[in-house]
Each structure stands twice: as C-alpha cells, then as structure tokens.
Amino acid sequence: MIVDLRSDTFTKPSPGMREAIASAEVGDDVFGEDPTVNLLQDRVASMFGKEAALFVVSGTMGNEVAISAHTQPGDEVILETNSHIFNYEGGAPALLSGVQLCPLPGEKGVITAEQIESAIRSKDIHHPNTSLICLENTHNMAGGTIYPLDEIRRIREIAEAHHLKMHLDGARLWNAFVATGISFQEYGRYFDSISVCFSKGLGAPVGSMLVGSTEYINSARRYRKIYGGGMRQAGILAAAALYALDNNLERLADDHKNARKLAEGINSLPDIHIDMDSVQTNIVIMEINPKKYTAEQVVNALKEGGVLLLAIDHSHLRAVTHLDVSEEGINRAIEAFEEIFAGQKQ
C-alpha cells in the first residue's frame, strides 16, 4: 500500500468523473462558446454572489490574473509572509504585473486589520501606491488554518476606507466552507475577487476559477489570454469540475477527520511536535527535532514504508489528506511514524 500524503493535488479522477469528461459537450472557450465551461462559470459565480467568473488552468494563474487586473505596474500589494502568492508562484507578481509585494508576519496565516492599516503607504511620490490586499483561506503553510470571518470583515472596512481592492486566494476555500458552514456568498461579500481550485481536495485533474464583477472578469479574461491561458475545447476539464462540485464537496469532512486522526496519532511520539490548534482542515504541519533527524531523512525513511510526505524545510514536514487516502491509509501512516520515532526502526 502506498499512502500519498504529499498533496491533495495527487488525487486522480474517479470512474464517474472520467465518464463526465468523456461525455462533455464542448465548444471554443476563447470565443466564449464552450457550453460546459459557461455552465461552470455561471454556477460558481452564483455560488459566490458574483456577476461573472473565469475558468483558468491553475490556482497560480487565477491569482496572477487577479493581481494584474487589480493593479498597475509600480503598485504595492499587501499579503502575509508565508502566503502562496509570495513564496510559491515564482515571483510572478513582479514579472507579470510589475508590482511590489509587502509581506506582513501572520499568526497561523492571519494578518490583522491593524497590521494592514499600518502598512498602507501614504500618498507620497517616493512611495509605491498601495492598491491591493491579498488574503489566503485556508492557509497552506500555516497548516490549513481558516481565516476568521470577523477579521476579514475588519480588513474590508480598512480596505474601503483607503479605497483598496481585496483578493482572496481561496484555493482550499472549499475546506473552510465544510469546516465552518460559512457560505460562499458570505465570503463573496468581502472580496472583489476570489480564486478557487478544483484540482486539490475536489479531485478534478485541472482547473481553477476566478470570480468577480462583470467588468473585472472582462479585464481578467484579457490577461488570461496574454498569459497563454486561453483554452479551446475546455469543456472536458469543466465537466470534471462540475462533477467534483456535485460529488466531492461535502466529503471533504472525511479528509479533515483523517488529518486530525493522523495528527493525534503521531503528536505524542518523541522528537515530533504538531500545533494541534492549527489542524483545522486537511493539512498537518509537523516539526522534527533537528538534533535527531532532518526532515529529508524522515521523508526517506517513511518512503521505505510506503508513506509519502513533503519536507518543507530542514525541520518541518507537511502531510495533506485527500479523497485517495482512506482511514486504513492513515493507520498505516501512523504505524510508519511509530517505527521511526518510537525507535522500532533504525
């Protein structure tokens, strides 16, 4: 048995999803004529209470198109230090949009309204123009933590007072919805744009969605084309996303349960520590005693036992649960950790 906990991007399409892909009605999406893409865009826009939506190939493209459509070259964007946009999108905001990033240190991925207000630049020719705030929910590197809605509301008040736009990197917002019951329309009230991903916990092979006003999405569509993201018969991909929304959304609760089970099962082992308060959805970040092991050593030892994880730095590992990891797989993963950290495997 191979238990792959490297990421929820390793999910594979189910037989039902493959059938939906095979039978999808298609057209040319660059011309706006793919009926399945149009159906998906209309559905997701409605879910968030937005006027329009744009299907893109990845979460990174969704975020970067969003930034380009909100900013001008030379602007500054406020976001959290460990956010995906700042760390894992190849410097794209500078390369594609010509903007400067202002990263603020967060607590479990959360930056506050007070932090943001203090970072907004004064109107001075020596300063970049602050134009956009980007938040991440759930927060990947904080361990799948959920951004508190009350703090989002407070940040929105600051944004409106300073005439700033707000974008949400909601790649795993589906997980926040399942964990909290907060509606997508409620989230939609506080952001000018939101990107969500279908190829993580929902199990689709490709695709993300960007939502916003009609005017904004028209601008975003132009940037999608500029960045090479205009797709043709993309309905075969949109069909997978529609299937995922119909069949794989509520079951994310199983992934959350499995993540909690894994964290509880290994947190008592020597030389490993997990902040249990951060285990809120489907991601577990664990700290390894660097005097005993490196994260890479643990990854290699686990791999010998059929368990795959990612080392995110010298002393931290990340495990992500998803629809292709069963409770039996979690039990096997716990056993593999016990063999290493309880001294049964040298």
Tell me the residue range of the domain where 104 lies. 13-246
The predicted-structure confidence for 161-213, as pLDDT tens digits, reads as follows: 999 999 999 999 999 999 999 999 999 999 999 999 999 999 999 999 999 99
User: Are 208 and 147 in the same domain?
Assistant: yes
The total number of structural domains that make up the chain: 2
The model's pTM? 0.96
Copy the structure tokens of residue 279. Answer: 């285990």
The reply to whether 1 falls in a domain is no
What pLDDT score was predicted for residue 344? 47
Please choose, from the candidates 220, 173, 172, 171, the residue with its C-alpha nearest in 3D space to the C-alpha of residue 192: 220
Domain boundary among 246, 262, 296: 246
User: Are 234 and 307 in the same domain?
Assistant: no
The reply to whether 239 falls in a domain is yes
The reply to whether 146 falls in a domain is yes
Over 60: is that where the pLDDT of 345 sits?
no
Per-chain mean pLDDT for the chain: 96
User: Are 205 and 330 in the same domain?
Assistant: no
Domain boundary among 217, 246, 275: 246
What pLDDT score was predicted for residue 342? 79
User: Are 255 and 241 in the same domain?
Assistant: no
